[in-house]
Amino acid sequence: MTRLIDTVAERAAPAPPRHPEKAHRPDQPVARKPPWIRVKAPGSPVYSETLSLVRELKLSTVCEEARCPNIGECWDKRHATFMIMGETCTRACAFCNVRTGLPDPLDENEPDRVADGVARLALAHVVVTSVDRDDLADGGARHFARTIAAIRRAAPETTIEVLTPDFLRKEGALEAVVAARPDVFNHNLETVPSKYLTVRPGARYFASLRLLQRAKELDPSLFTKSGVMVGLGEERNEVLQMMDDMRAAGVDFLTIGQYLQPTPKHHSVERFVTPEEFADYATIGLAKGFLLVSSSPLTRSSHHAGDDFARLKRARAAALRGG
């Protein structure tokens, strides 16, 4: 009888694909970025210190997961957007680089770790976002509320901005988040209604719009905010109509940035919008009544969030005096 002995070390199983739902899609060409999109590679000492703290506390950031082009600038200033409830999303948006699949159970200690990170970074303003958790009965709303409460205990002077999912069909979820009293409630519409089927198929435009409107109804003192990407094939008049929809919902702050394609499997960049067009959108948005509009190729929802919060407060005070 012959016995075969395998002397080759057992190979590790290949990691599951980051975006299994996109694996069989044909590759889309990745367009060369124009000069106004270029950013410096991260690598400063402060960036490294921020990275070390994030690793030490086992925290996730949307800065890394979504491959944000501003990570070097923000982390050099000790600004980070914490992403709670894991690194796996239950949605499969065509623009997003966050991993998709079945998420792990919630980490009950995560709110305290996030709060510890906020305190140790001495943040004046923090942004807390999350993956979509359609698997949870409340969409993760109570986890958001617990994280807000933990930050209030650990860093009472820090102002808090939440960037939430749409809580689609999650009764009472929004109410739980607003009751925790964040300073800014942010939910991104991402794109114009005509692009939802191909860009954001798991979401509903008017449900997201109603979420923002309802947040303001629940707490009129709350600043509401929303962001969109351009360059996905939308028409200018669609962007202007979307501005009107947001203003009808009472949104205070609008961010507009250039969509950048993470991989060949993601939605292609249909056009690079020029800096002049972004400036035009900002002018129109302010004329339509937004307290603040941040519109540039590299604008992202959480970019300069702390500085923008201070500007929001000044703009509201000025508007009240003018009234």
Tokens of 53: 């703290």
Contact 173, 323 (CB under 8 A): no
**Residue 245: how many other CB atoms lie within 10 Å:** 19
Tokens of 132: 């979509």
Distance CA 150, CA 253 (A): 26
What is the average per-residue pLDDT within 48-70? 66
Predicted pLDDT of residue 10: 47
Predicted pLDDT of residue 5: 46
Predicted pLDDT of residue 9: 44
Q: Which of 37-46, 71-80, 129-138, 257-266 has the lowest mean pLDDT?
A: 71-80
Residue among 77, 53, 74, 78 at smallest CA distance from 63: 74
Tell me the helices (H) and strands (E) count for the chain, helix number first: 11, 9
Strands 88-89 and 99-100: parallel
Residue range 149-184, pLDDT digits in tens:
999 999 999 999 999 999 999 999 999 999 999 999
Tokens of 109: 């200690």
What is the average per-residue pLDDT within 100-123? 93
Tokens 């923090």: give the residue.
Answer: 126
Average pLDDT for the chain:
87
The amino acid occupying position 172 is: G
Predicted pLDDT of residue 64: 58
Contact 57, 116 (CB under 8 A): yes
Distance CA 139, CA 275 (A): 37
Predicted pLDDT of residue 189: 98
Predicted pLDDT of residue 22: 75
**Res 101 pLDDT > 80:** yes
Angle (CA) 45-47-49 rounded to 5° is 70
